[in-house]
Amino acid sequence: MTDVYAVIGNPIGHTKSPLIHGLFAEATQQDMVYSSIEGRIGQFAADMAAFRTAGGRGMNVTAPFKLDAFACATERSPRAQMAGAVNALKFDGDRVIAENFDGVGLTRDVTHNLGCALQGKRVLLLGAGGAARGALLPFLEQQPASLVITNRTLDKAEALAKEAAAHGPVSACAYAELVGQQFDVVFNATSASLRAELPPVPAAVFAPGALAYELAYGKGLTPFLRLAQQAGVSQLADGVGMLVEQAAEAFAWWRGVRPQTGPVIERLTVPLV
């Protein structure tokens, strides 16, 4: 019997998840179908229940339902607990098991696909929202020399740093306090690029040989990446690798086999111009 999976979000028309999981299933010869569901705002629990009743085995969860999925779960992984949000669910009888693969997918893209080890590096994380929360534990597991979180609302960055302090060398500062500091890897986890805006980050934060990573994908040369390029950064990346790698983690969690990600990343990559 063909197993059924889906991604739920609102809006959902832009999603690449059915294409990605379809390619994974074809490559690994898995008997499954994967579709998209436009969830109803305020009705996530009912929509999830309907999908389970219809035989659904698991779901990916995207905006704006990641907090709803967290609330509906009966079991949550440490990564999901730290993020306070969920991007993948597995259904097993009465159990609703929750995971968050965003950060581990991002970390794998950086360390494996881009060949940039985070161990011993000075890492700067722009933003303190859900994307940043999901990245914290996977980043700190790589043992960076330091991880600094900055955010327009400093209180949010400080609260996040305090929450993660037991897991590694993490701190918070205001954007203005970045003047005079340099970092080996700079991640833009803000929503600024979705509005074609630039976070108030000084161009001088990029150390020689730095990596500038934009979590948004398919936007080309965003204002953040353009700033990095103008500052002399040669290694630029957007979030397409993160998108595919987190999907591969969910696929492996559901199916017990991890697909090759390189061909899918290549297919979805938009030139950074």
Q: Which residues participate in catalysis according to the annotation?
A: 66
Give the distance, in angstroms, between the CA of residue 10 and the centroid of all CA atoms in the same chain.
Answer: 17
Task: Copy the structure tokens of residue 127.
Answer: 């933003």
Rounded distance, CA 106 to CA 49, Å? 30
Tell which phi-psi region holds residue 126, choosing left (phi > 0), alpha (psi between -120 and 50) or beta: beta
Rounded distance, CA 79 to CA 30, Å? 27
Tell which phi-psi region holds residue 236, choosing left (phi > 0), alpha (psi between -120 and 50) or beta: beta
Rounded distance, CA 62 to CA 6, Å? 11
- Cβ atoms of 53 and 24 closer than 8 Å: no
Q: Roughly what angle, to the nearest 10 degrees, separates helices 130-141 and 154-164?
A: 30
Evaluated on CA atoms 107, 194, 230, 132, the torsion sign reads negative
- Beta pairing partners, 96: 91
- DSSP letters, 30-82, are --EEEEEEEPPTT-HHHHHHHHHHTTEEEEEE-TT-HHHHHHH-SEE-HHHHH
